Structure 1
Amino acid sequence: MEVLDEVADSGLVEEIEPLVARGTGSPCTLPVEALLVGMCLTAAHNGGVILFTAVTDLLYFLFTAVTDLLYFALADEMRQQLGLRPHPDHDHGFEAAYAVVRRRIHSVLDAIDPSPLPKSHRLARRHVEKLLAQADPAELARKRTLMVRVANMILAMSLREAL
């Protein structure tokens, strides 16, 4: 499959996988490669044009569309090749698969987010200032550099066909 080659050639798997690897707990059921393939196929399925009015719209669409594609639209052989566990094709199966995708995307975003502030919270200015003062500037700079590198890799991957 062409998208597998594109994801492999992008370097994104090698960049992201170490950031989200866990040494303890249950094994991951959604490899980074599978997530990236799902995101690429979802974008291609929508012609690369998606309009959102809010970040929450984007994340909900991304989680839902990628879940549906990876777990319920791909052929069984492709799901096996990507290392995906099957989920039953009903509402509880979809919710379980959706939770896997949501957790994995959030683990990637958390690994590269250069902000020490919690998401989806309205904070008092004094609390924000306290969190910013407690943050390690070196760690924030490292994550900022990492975020830019990953974003540039995604951009480069998206432009390959245009060249």
Structure 2
Amino acid sequence: MSRLTREAQLAVLRSRRHPYTDADLEHAVHLVAVSGAAALLTPLLARSCGRPRLLTVEGLLAGLFLCALERPNAVHLSRVTDVLHFSIPEPWRRRFGVKDRSDDSCGFEAAYAVVRRLFDAVLACVGSSPLPRNRRLPAETAAALRSQADAAALAGRAELLRVVVNGIVEASLDPVRPVLDRHWDGSIGIDATPVATYARGTKTGAPHTATDPDAGWYVREGDHRAPDTAPDGSAAAPAEPPPTPRRTAGRRTAGKRATGAKQQRKQRLLKRLFGYSATATTSSASRPARTAPCRSKAAGTVPPSPRR
């Protein structure tokens, strides 16, 4: 990336920058404490020797919470870096162990490296996959890594990830928890939502894995609505059978038949994506509704397991 490109991206971050108050930081730190994630992860990342980290786990999670509260659909480490190093009051930077940096491309890159290293260290503690991320591996190599992996260690990381993510989801409900507990009538539902990845999926039996090798294909075929239900949920009129096509000879008719078969296949295949299946438990009542902590089976955002 050229220097001009970096400066342009930093200019965009600066244009969106705004100072955070002590109340904002206290709210974020409270959510981190309620989630229990920092208390679980900090001992695992403690160093017995070497230089101390220039960012605490509490600070990283607080920065992630602040970005999520501001823009829930776009939590980027570049934004977290800008918040922690250039947007929060100095006493909070000292609490999080953040070092003062110059507000230029060199200072930002050094600050980003600190955030990225700690984020990768956290992922290493909770990563339940024996395969490296962002790499395409030969299928034989992937199979060998899976066979040589320590199943007990991976299961422990998966359980830690489940606890951490469920705690973060639970923290988001902290302000309304008393109301939800008071009005909940015991109704519970389970939903498996597909979560797409940026990786390009591979065919079954392909010689190489995808760059996200633990994901899988999610395929939804046909119309899952009741036969007598319209798309808006209302009762629909009975569908009339399609007219019988007139048989005529010629290349034009054969082309129409091929096009019709392709359209029918598209109609049957409503959704196909390469990703994970995040399983969430949802409880509701006649008054308010709440979403319980997310439950899932393998690695990904929670990490959800591939739904093949």
TM-score using structure 2 length: 0.47
TM-score using structure 1 length: 0.87
Q: RCO higher in 1 or 2 (8 Å CA, sep ≥ 6)?
A: 1
Taking the aligned partners of 1:12 and 1:100, their CA distance within structure 2 comes to: 19
2:69 aligned with 1:44, yes or no?
A: yes
Consecutive aligned runs of 4 or more in structure 1 exceeding 2 Å deviation: none
SS in 1 for 2:40: helix
Taking the aligned partners of 2:123 and 2:94, their CA distance within structure 1 comes to: 26
Q: Alpha-carbon deviations, 1:65-94, whole Å to 9, x = none?
A: 100000011122221232211111111000
2:45 aligned with 1:20, yes or no?
A: yes
Q: Structure 1 or 2: larger strand share? A: 2
Letter of the aligned partner of 1:101 in structure 2?
V
2:34 aligned with 1:9, yes or no?
A: yes
Structure 1 segment 55-94 matched on structure 2, within 5 A: 62-94=76-108
* Structure 2: runs of 5 or more not aligned: 1-25, 178-308
Letter of the aligned partner of 2:62 in structure 1?
V
1:144 is aligned to 158
In angstroms, what is the RMSD of aligned CA positions?
1.4
Letter of the aligned partner of 1:34 in structure 2?
G
2:216 is aligned to none
SS in 1 for 2:76: helix
Structure 2 residue corresponding to 1:103, chosen from 114, 117, 123 = 117
Letter of the aligned partner of 2:47 in structure 1?
R
Verify the 8 A CA contact 2:28 2:65 in the aligned structure 1: yes
1:160 is aligned to 174
* Structure 1: runs of 5 or more not aligned: 52-60
1:113 is aligned to 127
The CA deviation at 1:148 is 0.8
1:58 is aligned to none
- The structure whose Rg is larger is 2
Q: Alpha-carbon deviations, 1:31-75, whole Å to 9, x = none?
A: 0010011011111122x2x16xxxxxxxxx521010000001112
Q: Percent identity at matched positions?
A: 38
